[in-house]
């Protein structure tokens, strides 16, 4: 067999193997996406839990502060009853009024924090529900990945063994070109010549439509052991039997 024939045989097996691997890779990509979304949800839930703890601590501190103000206010009220002079009475009364204002501010802050806790709780509940749903989807994706992996394992092993066998007869330089093109174009490493205008000797790459000089076409037609790449897409060019027959008739 010629180098081009060996490459075409390799190309056929390589595409089949890549097709099977892509089924597993697509399932893995889908699973990774679900896991990533679940991780983001759990991270948000953890962040809300930390905010909740901090808010609860703030509320506790405010309640302690409010209790201290109440204790001080109650003591001052007793002092107010026992005040002996108008000046003393007025001083105590002013402090009581100041404490009432301070207590009101503390109560307002505590109320705002409690409302914040309610908001955090609602957000946590909503995110937890989403995380539960996403966990179900993630678990299904995990099962699907295993099923696809198991499903193609035997056939893929056979194809990979066949690919290795067919690659072993391809010259190293040609194989390097083939592998690079296959990686770049998801297995479409080979491109048949396309006849554009036979009378004008116009030919091109059937994959990227780049025009090819006729001397290059002649080289490809003349020797199947010479590996030529398209200048546009770098796929390996070859002539189909149909095109060869058409040129011979010409």
By the 10 Å C-beta count (0-12 exposed, 13-18 middle, 19+ buried), 112 is classed as middle
Residue-wise pLDDT for 47-95, tens only, equals 999 999 999 999 999 999 999 999 999 999 999 999 989 999 999 999 9
Does a structural domain hold residue 8? Answer: no
Q: 67-71, 180-184, 226-230, 246-250 — which is least confidently predicted?
A: 246-250
State the Cα–Cα distance between residues 154 and 147, nearest whole angstrom.
Answer: 13
Shared domain check, 234 and 161: no
Question: 115 to each of 87, 91, 122, how far by Cα in Å?
Answer: 42, 36, 11
The average pLDDT across 166-183 equals: 96
pLDDT the model gives residue 245: 73
Does a structural domain hold residue 194? Answer: yes
Query: Which has the closest alpha carbon to 189: 9, 24, 21, 26?
Result: 9
Last residue of a domain, one of 117, 149, 167: 167
The reply to whether the predicted model has a pTM over 0.85 is no
Indicate the average pLDDT of the chain. 95
The domain of 107 spans 13-167
Count of the separate structural domains present in the chain: 2
CATH of the domain at 44: 1.10.287.1490
Shared domain check, 145 and 25: yes
pLDDT the model gives residue 143: 98
Last residue of a domain, one of 167, 183, 208: 167
Question: What is the Cα Rg of the chain in Å?
Answer: 39
Shared domain check, 92 and 199: no
Greater confidence, 249 or 59?
59
Does a structural domain hold residue 1? Answer: no
Shared domain check, 178 and 163: no
Shared domain check, 74 and 133: yes
Does a structural domain hold residue 163? Answer: yes
State yes or no: pLDDT of 207 exceeds 90.
yes
Helix ranges restricted to H, the chain: 3-81, 86-167, 172-184, 214-222, 241-249
State the Cα–Cα distance between residues 220 and 206, nearest whole angstrom.
Answer: 14
Does a structural domain hold residue 54? Answer: yes
Does a structural domain hold residue 82? Answer: yes
Question: 120 to each of 39, 107, 115, 153, how far by Cα in Å?
Answer: 19, 20, 9, 47
Shared domain check, 115 and 183: no
Does a structural domain hold residue 136? Answer: yes
Shared domain check, 182 and 139: no
| Secondary structure class of 238 (helix, strand, coil) | strand
Question: 229 to each of 191, 201, 224, 226, how far by Cα in Å?
Answer: 9, 19, 13, 10
Shared domain check, 197 and 88: no
Shared domain check, 134 and 60: yes
Specify whether the CB–CB gap between 181 and 189 falls below 8 A: yes
pLDDT the model gives residue 199: 86
Last residue of a domain, one of 167, 182, 206: 167
Q: Which residues contact 170 (CB under 8 A, 6 or more apart)?
A: 3, 6, 7, 10, 178
CB atoms near residue 126 (< 10 Å)? 10
Shared domain check, 142 and 190: no
Does a structural domain hold residue 207? Answer: yes
């Amino acid at each position: 067999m010629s180098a081009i024939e060996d490459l075409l045989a390799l190309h056929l097996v390589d595409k089949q193997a890549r097709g099977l691997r892509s089924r597993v890779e697509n399932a893995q990509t889908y699973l990774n996406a679900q896991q990533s979304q679940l991780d983001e949800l759990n991270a948000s839930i953890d962040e809300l839990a930390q905010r909740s703890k901090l808010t609860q601590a703030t509320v506790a501190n405010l309640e302690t502060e409010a209790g201290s103000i109440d204790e001080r206010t109650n003591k001052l009220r007793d002092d107010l009853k026992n005040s002996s002079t108008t000046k003393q009475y007025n001083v105590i009364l002013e402090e009581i009024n100041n404490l009432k204002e301070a207590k009101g501010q503390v109560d307002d802050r505590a109320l705002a924090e409690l409302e914040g806790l309610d908001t955090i709780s609602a957000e946590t509940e909503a995110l937890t529900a989403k995380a539960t749903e996403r966990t179900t989807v993630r678990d299904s994706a995990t099962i699907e990945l295993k099923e696809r992996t198991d499903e193609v394992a035997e056939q893929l092993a056979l194809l990979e063994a066949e690919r290795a066998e067919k690659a072993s007869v391809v010259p190293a330089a040609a194989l390097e070109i083939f592998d690079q093109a296959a990686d770049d174009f998801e297995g479409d490493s080979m491109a048949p010549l396309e006849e554009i205008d036979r009378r004008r000797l116009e030919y091109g790459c059937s994959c990227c439509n780049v025009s090819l000089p006729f001397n290059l076409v002649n080289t490809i037609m003349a020797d199947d052991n010479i590996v030529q790449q398209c200048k546009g897409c770098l796929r390996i060019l070859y002539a189909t039997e149909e095109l060869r027959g058409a040129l011979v008739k010409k």
